[in-house]
């Protein structure tokens, strides 16, 4: 049995039943692939299912408001992704909402890179395009004990060469998903299940018991930590929110005002440590009963529930909203 047939047989017998595998609808695969970027599958599935109920096709997506899309995406992070999805839907509306069938046309859509384009082309249209992401790089690095640093061009070239060789004799839709599934279920970063791996007899890292030595990791810089003072200003039963801020994170999302200096009357109500991919926020929250200011927009707790609010502030708000609107703060 060949490498590809062994892997494909394993996938056919062991694949997870995931909602975006119900068919080969490129719209469903596209949304799932974008949602799954930097997000665990178990985390994104509820988002995906809610999305498909609300916007089951490209036409309904193109007609959606950006505010509704941002709200639906709240908590998934990397919010440029959802804006690009919306831009792509508008672009596809010019083509009768028909999803393109060639890799170059797919790649031309906003927010779709080489990996996503190859994944859609192979899964939906059986094109022999190789989809290579971090999971695939890890699997192939271990199979051949590649010494190249993770994320390097030299590693990508080697992995691409191997993947193209395998793909030449594979069923594209099955092979692409099988490699994804192997990286997600078996050849995981920290606790790989090597004994259950269908490719263990072809794997140099398994043979040499060196699995955790690959791929070769690049030195990562320590994430910068930013301390922020967040002011929850209340007027009767309303809170002040703003969309104006100095950083470029999460454009279009609401947040509580950030201040450099606290008013004397402000009361400390808690803190929140929020980790992004590239930095850390240490947030101290204070409350202040005040008069309304036209510098902000004011909302009730119920109205805030319906707004897209940045996750770092949403988490704290959900834990403390009862106290925020009480006299016991």
Quick count: other Cβ atoms within 10 Å of Cβ 71? Answer: 16
Q: What's the rounded Cα separation, in Å, for the pair 253 and 47?
A: 17
- Of 33, 63, 161, 302, the catalytic one is 33
**Which of 241, 187, 151, 245 lies closest to 7 in space, CA to CA?**
187
Which value, to the nearest 10 degrees, does the dihedral of the CA atoms of residues 277, 282, 284, 285 take?
10
Q: What's the rounded Cα separation, in Å, for the pair 125 and 127?
A: 6
Angle at 216 between CA 166 and CA 173, to 5 degrees: 25
Q: What's the rounded Cα separation, in Å, for the pair 27 and 124?
A: 10
Q: How many Cα atoms occupy the beta-carbon half-sphere of 284 within 13 Å? A: 11
Known catalytic membership, residue 33:
yes
Give catalytic residues, as residue numbers. 33
């Amino acid at each position: 049995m060949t490498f590809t047939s062994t892997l494909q047989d394993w996938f056919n017998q062991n694949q997870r039943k995931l909602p975006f595998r119900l068919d080969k609808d490129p719209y469903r695969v596209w949304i799932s692939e974008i949602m799954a970027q930097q997000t665990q599958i178990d985390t994104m599935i509820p988002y995906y299912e809610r999305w498909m109920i609300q916007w089951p096709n490209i036409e309904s997506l193109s007609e959606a408001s950006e505010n509704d899309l941002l709200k639906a995406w709240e908590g998934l992070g990397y919010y440029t992704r959802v804006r690009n999805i919306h831009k792509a839907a508008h672009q596809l509306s010019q083509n009768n909402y028909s999803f393109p069938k060639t890799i170059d046309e797919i790649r031309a859509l906003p927010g779709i890179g080489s990996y996503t384009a190859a994944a859609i082309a192979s899964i939906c249209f059986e094109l022999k395009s190789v989809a290579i992401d971090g999971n695939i790089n890890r699997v192939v690095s271990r199979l051949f004990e590649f010494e190249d640093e993770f994320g390097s061009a030299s590693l990508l070239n080697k992995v691409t060469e191997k993947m193209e060789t395998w793909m030449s004799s594979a069923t594209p839709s099955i092979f692409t998903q099988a490699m994804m599934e192997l990286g997600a279920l078996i050849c995981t970063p920290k606790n790989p299940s090597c004994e259950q791996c269908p490719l263990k007899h072809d794997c140099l890292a398994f043979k040499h018991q060196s699995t955790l030595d690959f791929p070769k990791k690049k030195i990562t810089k320590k994430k910068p930590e930013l301390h922020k003072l967040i002011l929850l200003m209340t007027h009767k039963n309303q809170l002040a929110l703003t969309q104006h801020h100095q950083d470029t994170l999460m454009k279009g999302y609401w947040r509580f005002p950030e201040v450099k200096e606290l008013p004397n009357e402000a009361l400390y109500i808690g803190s929140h440590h929020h980790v992004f991919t590239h930095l850390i926020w240490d947030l101290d929250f204070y409350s202040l009963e005040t008069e309304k200011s036209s510098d902000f927009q004011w909302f009730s707790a119920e109205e805030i529930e319906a707004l897209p609010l940045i996750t770092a502030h949403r988490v704290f708000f959900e834990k403390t909203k009862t106290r925020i609107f009480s006299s016991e703060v």
